[in-house]
């Protein structure tokens, strides 16, 4: 009897401490997820009023959409290109930021500015840089006889232009994750490598990179999630182009509800469910692959 009372007291104390966090998770994560699934199984009028149940028709309509293949391919190119370039460039930036040089503090603050700025403002700034008629970049290219280039309207340039902005805003956070990893590496390890005659590249390849693996894992997973869900950059830079030819799954979902011939909230919600499942599958596969590599090492 005494033991049961002690267990109930312990459970009540735990709920008291965990209650605010559980309420927050329920309000921010669980409730929106339930409403998303509910909307994906419903019919809506063009003004957004719920008309009744739709069964799985919204999911079928999304899977049969003629532009779905293009949108998925755009998403894969966008995520892989931005994450890969961000990780490679950030490794170099992090190595530079850990060096001792005059003005290092100022440089560190300057690097973090793109991350602190609003994504919409950053995207709008790049629209002015890329603009075909009065953009800064085309003025420079025109001065040397190489422009103008339609960075935001040409099929050949729009994805590369968006990837550049995605990398620009992703580098600060990723670099600081790597800086934390580099600062946690024991100095004695490098001294031992130097005594054994290891060169700079051998030291980086055999010591620095393996010890950075935890930071690398965090950076890659978080960047995959952030880049996949990045709406402002794609929407702002691709806003002048009609249709879904340069959209990712995130902007595809938005346009289905508000900026397409469909204007179907139910289809948009079904696309949202697919987005959540897709990012969960990618993260789980990556984590299992990384664990397999660590166990086999």
**Domain layout of the chain by residue ranges:** 65-295
Asked if residue 293 has pLDDT above 90, the reply is no
Q: Tell me, what's the pLDDT at 166?
A: 93
Q: Tell me, what's the pLDDT at 1?
A: 55
User: pLDDT category, 78, cuts 50, 70, 90?
Assistant: very high
Average pLDDT for residues 138-148, to the nearest whole number? 84
User: pLDDT category, 81, cuts 50, 70, 90?
Assistant: very high
Q: Tell me, what's the pLDDT at 295?
A: 61
| Distances from the Cα of 247 to the Cα of 37, 70, 131, 149, 251, angstroms | 23, 8, 19, 21, 6
- Percent of the chain past pLDDT 70, that is, above it, reads 96
Identify the CA nearest to 166 among candidates 231, 73, 250, 251: 231
- Yes or no: say if 244 and 71 are a contact pair by the CB < 8 Å rule: yes
Buried b (16+ CB within 10 A) or exposed e, 263-289: bbbbbbbbbbbbbeeebeebbeeeeee
User: pLDDT category, 99, cuts 50, 70, 90?
Assistant: confident
Q: Is the pTM of this model over 0.95?
A: no
> What residues pair up with 52 in beta bridges, in sequence order?
43
Q: Tell me, what's the pLDDT at 129?
A: 92
Q: Tell me, what's the pLDDT at 296?
A: 57
Per-residue pLDDT reduced to its tens digit, 171-224: 999 999 999 888 888 878 888 888 877 788 888 888 888 888 888 888 888 898
CATH fold of 65-295: MetI-like fold (1.10.3720)
Average pLDDT for residues 42-60, to the nearest whole number? 85
Q: Considering only residues 189 and 274, tell me which one the structure prediction assigns the higher pLDDT.
A: 274
Q: Tell me, what's the pLDDT at 244?
A: 86
Asked if residue 31 has pLDDT above 70, the reply is yes
Per-residue pLDDT reduced to its tens digit, 2-29: 667 777 777 777 778 888 888 888 888 8
């Amino acid at each position: 009897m005494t033991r049961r009372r002690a267990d109930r007291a312990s459970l009540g104390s735990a709920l008291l401490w965990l209650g605010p966090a559980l309420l927050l998770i329920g309000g921010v994560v669980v409730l929106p997820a339930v409403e998303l699934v509910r909307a994906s199984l419903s019919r809506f009028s063009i003004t957004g009023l719920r008309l009744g149940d739709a069964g799985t028709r919204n999911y079928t309509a999304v899977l049969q959409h003629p532009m779905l293949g293009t949108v998925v391919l755009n998403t894969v190119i966008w995520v892989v290109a931005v994450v890969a370039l961000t990780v490679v460039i950030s490794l170099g930036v992090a190595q530079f930021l850990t060096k001792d040089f005059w003005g290092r503090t100022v440089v560190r603050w300057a690097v973090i500015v793109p991350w602190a700025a609003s994504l919409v403002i950053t995207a709008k700034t790049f629209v002015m840089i890329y603009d075909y008629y009065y953009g800064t970049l085309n003025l420079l290219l025109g001065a040397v006889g190489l422009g103008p280039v339609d960075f935001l309207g040409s099929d050949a340039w729009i994805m590369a232009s968006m990837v550049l902005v995605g990398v620009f805003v992703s580098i600060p956070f990723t670099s600081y994750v790597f800086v934390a990893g580099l600062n946690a590496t024991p100095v004695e390890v490098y001294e031992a490598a130097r005594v054994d005659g290891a060169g700079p590249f051998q030291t980086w390849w055999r010591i620095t990179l393996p010890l950075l693996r935890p930071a690398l894992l965090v950076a890659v997973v978080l960047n995959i999630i952030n880049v996949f869900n990045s709406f402002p950059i794609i929407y702002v830079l691709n806003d002048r182009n009609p249709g879904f030819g340069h959209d990712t799954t995130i902007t595809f979902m938005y346009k289905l509800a508000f900026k397409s011939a469909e204007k179907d909230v139910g289809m948009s919600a079904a696309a949202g469910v697919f987005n959540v499942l897709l990012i969960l599958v990618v993260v789980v596969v990556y984590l299992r692959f990384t664990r397999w590599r660590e166990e086999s090492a």
